[in-house]
Structure 1
C-alpha cells in the first residue's frame, strides 16, 4: 500500500489585531443599522422606560416617536412653531416634556398626543428638561443662563437659579432625590442645586463648554462631558474629581448608560461611540458611524441602539434574535440535526461520513516532482497577495529538495517577471527574509548572463538590488541603535549598583538618646 503524501507545511503568522473580548462579541450582535432621514439635525433621543420601549427623536419642529421593532414612526408631536429640543419621557412612559426655541416647556400625553401644560417663564431657548424622581416636577435648562423648577399640577415655577455666565445646554436630575439636579453651561462650570436652598450647593470647573451630564444610579457620582474629555466627580465630597476619560479627538456631545448601568457610552463629533467599563473606565468597544454624532439612546436591556447625526440621519441598530429551533423541527428539517442524546435503533445502519483527504495543486505537482509547475501554482496573484506564506513554504520545500534551480531555470518573459516581483515585494518582510535571500542568490547564479534578459527583467533586477541594499542599510542602522541602547542601559545599571552599595556601606550613627546615656 502506497504511503500518503505529506503536505507542504506553510507556517501561518498571526495577524496583529484587536483581541476578541466578551464585550466585542456582545456589541457585534447588533444587527445591520437601519438609516432613517429626519427633517433636521437630531438634537436628542430618549427611550420610554416601559415596554415596548418606544423612543422619541427630537428634530426640527417636531418630536417623532418610533416603534423600535418596526423602525417606523408611531406618533408625531408637532405642537411647535419653532425648533424643539430635548424631549424626554417620564419614568412611567405616560408623559413627555420638551423644550424649544419658543422659550417654553411643553408637557404632552403620549397616548393621546394632547398638549397638557405649557410652562412659561424663560426668556431664552430651553435646550434640556427632565422629570424629577417624584414624577410631579420638571427641571428645565435655558439659554437665558437660568435653571427653573416647575410644579406640574399647578403649572407654576417653584424656584429658579441664575448663577451661570453663559448658555446652559446640559442638565441632569438625581435618580434618588427629587430636590437635587445638575446644570452644565458654556462657561465650563457644572453646578449642583438643591431646591430647599436658594443658591447652588457647589460647583466644579469642567475645563470646556459642558455638552452633557449624567448621574450614576446611586446619585453620589456624576459625569460631565465637554471638549474631548469625560470627567467623573464625587458629589458627596463636594465635587472631588475622580477620573478623566479622553478617548475622543473631537467634541463629546452625549453620554448614556447601558448594560444595567455597567457600561458608559459616549458619542462624539469624531463619528465614534466609545463604550467604557464603569468599574475600570477602560474602553471595551467602539462603534463607528458615517457622520458626526449629536445624540445617543440605548433601550433597557441593550436591545436597540439609536444614534442621531448632524445631517438628520438616525441609525437604528437592533440586537439580532438567536434562532430557536425545537427538536421536532430539527427532525423534520434533516436527520443530521438530531439531538446530542440521540441513539440509533438496533435495526438502523449508521453510514460513516466519508472525509476525502484532498491535497492542493502545488502539493500534487510536488508529489510528481514537477517543480516548475508547483512554483507556478503558488505565484498566481491570489496566492501571492492573500497567502504569501504558502509561496515561501514552497520555495523552502524546493530548497530542501535541491530542486529550486530546476524550478527557476529556463524562465522567460512573464514567468521570470512574476518571480522577480514577488522577491521585490516580500524580501523586506522579516518573516520571509532568510528564505528569499537564498532564492535570490540562486536566481542570480542562473541568470548571470544579462544579455539574454528582456529590458523589463533587467529593470526589475536593478530594483531588487536596490531593495536589498536598502534592507542592508536598515539592518546596519538598527544594529547601531541596539548598541547605543545597550550602552545606555548598562551605564544606568552600573550607577544604580553604586548607589545601592553606598547606602549599604554607610555607617549607622548612634542616636541622640544612646549618646547621652553613654556620657552618663
Structure 2
C-alpha cells in the first residue's frame, strides 16, 4: 500500500545563546497552559480571586475565613455570566447568571472567604450572590448607569465599594438597603477603582483623566463635602482604565491610554511614567507578594515590572487584546508564591498558565519516563527498576488515554488511528505513482484546493527532488496557475523558501521562452498570443512582488539597526 502523504512539520531554527535572568527563569516556569472558551464567545472582562495579592495576607490573619476548599476558586466575568473555576483543575465549577434578560455583568468580585460574590451590570444593578446556593442575597438600585467596578473590603466581610458610569463612587454595607457613602467628584465615567491597602481609603479612576483618593473618615464637619471632594487628585494623560494599590499604602499605579503612572500619595506627584505598551493598558495586577506588577494591554502583551526599578523583567504575548488579568497564589505554600497567571481576552478565551511546584515537576518527569519506557517496549524493566507493583487490568489504556487536567497536563498529539486511515486524495494517489505533473495540475485546479494541499504537495516534491520534473514541458496555459500562485504567495514570509524554490525552477526552465522574439510574436497576434501575454503579465507582477518584498526587508533591517542602537527590548 502506498505511503500516505502528510504535511511536513515546520522547521524551527534554533535561537542563539542568551543569558536568562532570574525573573525570566521564574516566569518561564508558567509553562502548563490551558485555553478555555467562554460561553457564546463573550469577552472575559474581569477576573477575581480571594487568593490574589493583596487579599492573601488577610486570609491567614482572620479566624473567620472558610476552609481552603471554599477559597480554591477564581471567578471570571463574561457576558451575562460569572463563572467560577477551580484552582486545582482550572475547570469551571459553577455559573451565576441571575441578571435580567439581555443584561451584561461587570466586575464579578468574589469575597475573600469564597462564599459571597458581588457583581455590577449594565443596567446599574449591584447584586450579591451566595456562591453555594446561587441565591441573590442583596440587590441595590441606586446607580443609574452601568456599574463597572465592585470590590470587597480587604478585611471587613460586609463592606463593598462600586464605581459607575454615572460618575459616582459609592460605599455599601451588606445589611443596609442604601449606600452608606457617595462621592460625585468625577466629571465622566468612573470605570476603575479599588481599596487602598488596609481598606482605610478608596481610589477611583475616571474617563475625565483623574485618579482620586477618597477617605470615608472625612466628612463635611472637617470642611469637606460628602458629595464631591477627594482628599487627593492626580491628573492623567487620558481616560483612566485601571488602578492598583501598592503594598505599604504610600503609592498607587494607574493606567491611561498606553501609559502607566506610579503615583506617590505622600508627595502627591507621579514617581514614574512607563510607556512600554503600544496600545491602551486595560488591566493591572500584583504578583510575587507585591514585588512585581503585571500589566495587560490591547496590544496583546502582558508585561512584568520590577516594582523597585520599574524595568520590564518578563512578558507574554497573546493572540487577542488583553482585557483582564490576575495572579492567583498557592495556598499550599507558606510564602504564598504565584500559582496561576489568569488572563482574559477580548476573543472570549481565558488563558490560565500554571507554575508547577517541585513535587509536580517530579511527577511530570516520572510520567515522561514512564511513557518513554512504554513506547520503547521496556515497561516491565521500568517497573522493576522503580519497584512498582504489578499493574492491574487495563493499565495501558488508562496510561495512554488518561485525560489530564490542572497542573499535570500532558501534550498529546493524535495521529490517524490504526486501521482507520483517511482516504487518499486524487493528487496524493498520482504523486505516489510518480505522476508528478498531473498531481500538480489537480492541485492547481480552480475548483479544488485548499492552500494546505498545495503547500503539502509542493513540499513533498521538493523533498523528493521531483519539483523540476513536475514543472517541465508545460505550455503557456499550463504555466499560468503556477505563476498566479507564485504572485499570491511570494509576499508571505511563511512560504518564502518554498516560493523561491518554485520560482527559480520556473525561470530556469522557461526564461528562454520569455525573450523579445516570442513577446513580439505574442503582441502581433501569433499562435497562443493571448496565453503568452497573460504569462508575460504574470511574470511582471511576480517581478514587482519580489521588488516590494526586498524593499520591505531592507526597511526591516534598518529599523532593527535603529532599535538596536537605542537598546530597546523587544
Q: TM-score, normalised by structure 1?
A: 0.59
Answering whether residue 99 of structure 2 is matched by residue 80 of structure 1, we say yes
| CA displacement at 1:335 relative to structure 2 | 9.4
Q: Partners in 1 of 2:165 and 2:300 — Cα distance? A: 27
Alignment of 1:56-455 (within 5 A): 56-81=75-100, 82-133=103-154, 134-176=156-198, 178-197=199-218, 198=226, 199-238=229-268, 240-300=269-329, 301-320=337-356, 321-324=360-363, 333=382
- SS, match of residue 289 in structure 2: coil
Q: What are the superposed Cα offsets for residues 300-345 of structure 1, whole Å, 9 maximum, x if unpaired?
A: 132111111111111122223211589xx9x98489999xxxxxxx
Q: Which residue of 1 aligns with 2:47?
A: 45
Q: Partners in 2 of 1:336 and 1:72 — Cα distance? A: 36
Q: Partners in 2 of 1:15 and 1:237 — Cα distance? A: 46
Q: Partners in 1 of 2:87 and 2:108 — Cα distance? A: 17
CA RMSD of aligned residues (A): 3.0
Residues 264, 278 of structure 1: 8 Å contact kept: yes
Q: Partners in 2 of 1:179 and 1:139 — Cα distance? A: 12
Q: Partners in 2 of 1:18 and 1:208 — Cα distance? A: 38
Alignment of 1:476-495 (within 5 A): none
Larger displacement relative to structure 2 (113-122 or 43-52)? 43-52
Residues 119, 150 of structure 1: 8 Å contact kept: no
| CA displacement at 1:110 relative to structure 2 | 1.7
Q: Structure 1: which 5+ residue stretches go unaligned?
A: 1-13, 339-413, 415-454, 460-520
Cα distance change of structure 1 residues 284 and 335 upon mapping to structure 2, 3 Å threshold: farther
Residues 32, 355 of structure 2: 8 Å contact kept: no
| CA displacement at 1:69 relative to structure 2 | 2.5
Q: Partners in 2 of 1:148 and 1:297 — Cα distance? A: 24
Answering whether residue 77 of structure 2 is matched by residue 55 of structure 1, we say no
| CA displacement at 1:157 relative to structure 2 | 1.0
Larger C-alpha radius of gyration, 1 or 2? 1
How many residues get paired? 329
Residues 65, 74 of structure 1: 8 Å contact kept: yes
| CA displacement at 1:264 relative to structure 2 | 0.7
Residues 110, 117 of structure 2: 8 Å contact kept: yes
Q: Partners in 2 of 1:334 and 1:222 — Cα distance? A: 56
Q: TM-score, normalised by structure 2?
A: 0.54
| CA displacement at 1:179 relative to structure 2 | 3.9
